[in-house]
Amino acid sequence: MAYGKTKKWMIGGAALAGTAVLTAALWQGLTLRRYALHTDKLSAPVRLLLLTDLHSTFYGRAQRGLLSAIQAQTPDAVLLAGDMADDSRGDAGVDALMSALGGAYPCCYVSGNHEVRTGCLEALKRRFRSWGITVLEGSGTLLATPGGTLRICGVDDPSAFAGESGWLEQFRACQALTGDSQYTVLLSHRPERTECYRDSGFDLVVSGHAHGGQVRLPGMINGLFAPHQGAFPDYAGGLYALGSTTLVVSRGLCRNLLPRVFNPPELVALDLLPAEDKAL
């Protein structure tokens, strides 16, 4: 009897443990990921929030959950690195978020491949501009912050062009703005274009698109598959040193499109800190 009870207890415990692991693996709650970057081009801390790959996902009524998470971080600016809208889910989710963000923070946006697929990219950009969001298309804008002036540049998704030359033209136009004393950020939806980003003159490149590689197993797999990178992608999500340029890839905000395993949606906080803070 004692052995039977012990066996049942062990089976029940294993079942509970398995359920707990499965629940954790498939959890889709919003997470906050922070990165600290040091620079001698700023005199005081600056916080940027990076949002990518929303795909019109809702976080509560009128996006209150996501907006509350953004507000709690008190950002100096919000960077929108593509695929905020989606070609198959309607615009309600992105409209609710952008109409609120545009009046609350300095916001900069570049397109992603799913927004190009809508066939209505220019109309989408006009809506973003009407909400006070700066749309970057091979261009840059200057942003006043507590630490000094930032330059934010951005390029459209490569799928917006008939050939590679169109994207390269935008990229080079942005690159031509670098080389001075201003900290310069490039918004580019695709993370895999590291040959262009490496030692490019940009201090920071921010991207999305990879969705964290969809499946992540802690200590084993840092991303199973990502578009335009294939299996076991090198740039699925995280911070990467590319010579003098830093690349930060967000795992994105979408959920309920494809299963995400140990890969919850994330809001990314980028803390740009004066170089002297690192020495303390």
In a domain, 80, yes or no: yes
As for how many domains the chain has, the answer is: 1
pLDDT, residue 219, reads: 82
CA atoms 191, 195, 196, 197: torsion sign = positive
3-class SS letters over the chain: CHHHHHHHHHHHHHHHHHHHHHHHHHCCCCEEEEEEEEECCCCCCEEEEEECCCCCCCCCHHHHHHHHHHHHCCCCEEEECCCCCCCCCCCHHHHHHHHHHCCCCCEEECCCHHHHHCCCHHHHHHHHHHCCCEECCCEEEEEEECCEEEEEEECCCHHHCCCHHHHHHHHHHHHCCCCCCCEEEEECCCCCCHHHHCCCCCCEEEECCCHHHCEEECCCEECCEECCCEECCCCCCEEEEECCEEEEECCCCCCCCCCCECCCCEEEEEEEEEHHHHHC
Q: What is the CATH number of the domain that holds 237?
A: 3.60.21.10
- For all residues of the chain together, what is the average pLDDT? 91
Question: Residue 212 above 50 pLDDT?
Answer: yes
pLDDT, residue 17, reads: 47
Give the model's confidence band at 4: pLDDT under 50 very low, under 70 low, under 90 confident, else very high: low
In a domain, 90, yes or no: yes
* Rounded CA separation 258/249 (Å): 19
- Average pLDDT on 257-276 reads 92
pLDDT, residue 9, reads: 53
In a domain, 25, yes or no: no
pLDDT, residue 18, reads: 47
Give the model's confidence band at 218: pLDDT under 50 very low, under 70 low, under 90 confident, else very high: confident
Q: In which residue are the tokens 């033209």 written?
A: 169
In a domain, 263, yes or no: yes
- Average pLDDT on 161-165 reads 94
115-154 tens-digit pLDDT: 999 999 999 999 999 999 999 999 999 999 999 999 999 9
Q: Specify the length of the chain in residues.
A: 280
In a domain, 23, yes or no: no
221-232 tens-digit pLDDT: 889 999 999 999
In a domain, 113, yes or no: yes
* Rounded CA separation 81/204 (Å): 13
In a domain, 73, yes or no: yes
In a domain, 225, yes or no: yes
Longest dimension (CA), the chain: 79
Question: Can you give the residue range of the structural domain that contains 102?
Answer: 31-279
* Rounded CA separation 200/171 (Å): 10
